[in-house]
Amino acid sequence: MDALLPVLKSHPGLAVLVCSLLFRVVHQLLQRLPVPKVVKQNDLHSWKWRNLSVSMVHSLLTGAWALTCVVVWPETLKNIHSYHTPLSYLLVCVSTGYFVQDAGDIILTGHARGSWEFLVHHTLVIWCFLYALYTQLYVAGAVVALFVEVNSVTLHLRLLLKLAGAQSSYMYSINKFTNLFTYVTFRLCTQFYLTWYIVQNYSWLDHGGYFLASMIVMNIMILIYFYRLLRADFFSWSKKSSVGQNNNSRKFLSD
């Protein structure tokens, strides 16, 4: 791994491209797996299922990877500005490659309008991660930011179950509460920790203003998503009023 790091640092853009292509291969392989009949009957749902399946692979991989980096190297959590290891640098390359692939999939399949919020999120993440890879600064911050992928596992499972029409299943009920816990623990707490770190060290951080602005935008987005999640899964009055809208909506995040 130590021998690989100089190569990655010399050509971070190429490393991201290779990782993006690998996720595209994963996308093609996952298409061979069986899909619920109810999903096959709707072209939009079929695309969502494929897209979420690749996202699930990314979340399982990078979420566990990010947690491992912090457990093995605690300095990652303390010095998000300049600390990184070969494995953490590779993790950011892999994750950036996924976001590039996913953004391309959304745009090239004609779902940009219905998924514009994802594209805004992906653009911010890709820009910040590429900055980290090219400058070798904030790599640890990118690793900590990937804690949110632990929550993404339960978020993706929630959407997959909804696409399969399993909202009334025992698994959906268990995942509903697990998702709430991971959202607060790994998404909200992670974002607010990063925001706190930038605010506390703003005076000396490189491009602190840009990263603070990016974090504020991201914080607003995740709070809106949190409200939507609570409204959809825990407030019965909103379920009745939104059933018809969600069935016909082409908007990814309406789910």
pLDDT in tens, 39-88: 998 999 999 999 999 999 999 999 999 999 999 999 999 999 999 999 99
Contact 149, 63 (CB under 8 A): yes
In this prediction, residue 3 carries a pLDDT of 64
**Residue 28 has what DSSP assignment?**
H
In this prediction, residue 225 carries a pLDDT of 93
- 250 pLDDT higher than 70: no
- 241 pLDDT higher than 60: no
In this prediction, residue 62 carries a pLDDT of 98
Contact 215, 198 (CB under 8 A): yes
> Percentage of the chain surpassing pLDDT 70?
90
Please choose, from the candidates 108, 96, 250, the residue with its C-alpha nearest in 3D space to the C-alpha of residue 88: 96
In this prediction, residue 244 carries a pLDDT of 44
> Alpha helix locations (H) across 136-169?
139-145, 148-163
SS3 call for 252: helix
pLDDT interval class at 17 (50, 70, 90)? very high
pLDDT interval class at 230 (50, 70, 90)? very high
The residue written with tokens 């391309």 in the block is 104
Contact 46, 40 (CB under 8 A): yes
Take residue 98 and report the two structure tokens written for it: 């996924």
What pTM value is reported for the model? 0.90
* Centroid of chain to Cα 146: 7
Q: What is the mean pLDDT of residues 246-255?
A: 50
**How many other C-beta atoms are found inside a 10 Å radius of the C-beta of residue 198?**
22
State the Cα–Cα distance between residues 147 and 88, nearest whole angstrom: 13
Radius of gyration of the chain (CA): 19
pLDDT interval class at 15 (50, 70, 90)? very high
Q: Phi and psi (nearest 5°) for 82? A: -130, -5
Greatest alpha-carbon pair distance for the chain in Å reads 58
Q: What is the mean pLDDT of residues 96-114?
A: 94
Report CA dihedral (219, 222, 223, 226) to the nearest 10 degrees.
Answer: -160
- 234 pLDDT higher than 80: yes
In this prediction, residue 245 carries a pLDDT of 44
Q: Please provide the average confidence, as pLDDT, over all residues in the chain.
A: 90
pLDDT higher at 252 or 160: 160
> Percentage of the chain surpassing pLDDT 90?
77
State the Cα–Cα distance between residues 138 and 152, nearest whole angstrom: 22
